[in-house]
Amino acid sequence: MRVLEIGCGPGVAARAVFRRIGHGQVVAIDRSAAAIRIAAAASRAECEAGLLELRTVAIEDFALTGGEPRFDLAFAQHVGVLDGRDPSDAALKRLKAALKPHALLFVEGMAPIPARDLRLLASGFAAIAFQPCSRALPDSATSDARSCCLPRAPTGDGWGQTPPSSRAPDRPASEKARQLSILQ
């Protein structure tokens, strides 16, 4: 399984996600070179083993490298460009291009905004499901990722069940639908 974290900061959630999935790769990006340096220092073993890759890049500029596989899941926590206020669609277009068909995107820290929803649909995300967490969360990347994103991620190897209400309906493969699941 390949997972993309957008706005990884010091890499706490990226490391927690990898420990949870136990296989595959987590790619964590942040526009801040300082944040990536901190994440790299704290994630040396994971990076050296090829389990975690850190990149200094904003999601608006993110692109897969030649032959790099798309992601099964992406998540972001308190990332300004994805909170619905940014009028640019650059981040959504880059994100859509990086995700596999029917991949999941979890965005924590935003409220439903009709204009943003229209931009998401126009960008090719086929299903939008707002799923508030059932408990108050501390302002901690690790707690947020473990308690909300991971239990709702695709089934397999300890990930838990995706709620039926957040699954995209069956579609022909040619439609390449995406699913967006937003956490408030």
pLDDT of residue 117: 63
- Give the model's confidence band at 82: pLDDT under 50 very low, under 70 low, under 90 confident, else very high: confident
Q: What is the pLDDT of residue 29?
A: 97
Q: Considering the domain boundaries, does residue 147 fall inside one?
A: no
User: Has residue 79 got a pLDDT over 50?
Assistant: yes
Backbone angles phi, psi at 48, to 5 degrees: -65, -30
The amino acid present at 94, given as its one-letter code, is R
The pLDDT value given to residue 92: 84
Of 137, 149, 144, nearest in space to 181 by CA = 149
Q: Cβ distance 91 to 7 under 8 Å?
A: no
Q: What mean pLDDT, rounded, does the chain reach? A: 72
- Please answer whether residues 43 and 52 qualify as being in contact, where contact means their C-beta atoms are separated by less than 8 angstroms: yes
Examine residue 175 and state whether it is found in any structural domain, yes or no.
Answer: no
Q: What is the pLDDT of residues 114-155, one digit of tens each?
A: 656 666 666 666 666 655 554 444 444 444 444 445 554 543
Position 86 scores a pLDDT of: 66
Q: Is residue 170 part of a domain?
A: no
- Residue 177 near residue 127 (C-beta atoms within 8 A): yes
Q: What is the span of the domain harbouring residue 76?
A: 2-123
42-64 pLDDT tens trace: 999 999 999 999 999 999 999 99
Which residue(s) pair with 77 in the sheet? 108
Q: Write the burial class of residue 178 (CB in 10 Å: 0-12 exposed, 13-18 middle, 19+ buried).
A: buried
Residue 162 lies in a domain: no
Q: Is residue 134, in this structure, part of any structural domain at all?
A: no
- Weakest mean pLDDT among 48-52, 82-86, 91-95: 82-86
CB 146 within 8 A of CB 16: yes
Whether 176 is in a domain gets the answer no
- Count: domains in the chain: 1
| Predicted pLDDT of residue 129 | 60
* CATH code of the domain in which 15 resides: 3.40.50.150
Integer-rounded Cα Rg, in Å, for the chain is 15
pTM above 0.85, yes or no: no
Residue 165 lies in a domain: no
Residue ranges of E strands in the chain = 2-6, 25-30, 52-56, 71-77, 99-108, 125-130, 178-183
Q: Are strands 71-77 and 178-183 parallel, antiparallel or unpaired?
A: unpaired
What pLDDT does residue 106 have? Answer: 81
Is 167 among the domain residues? no
**Predicted local distance difference test score (pLDDT) of residue 115:** 58
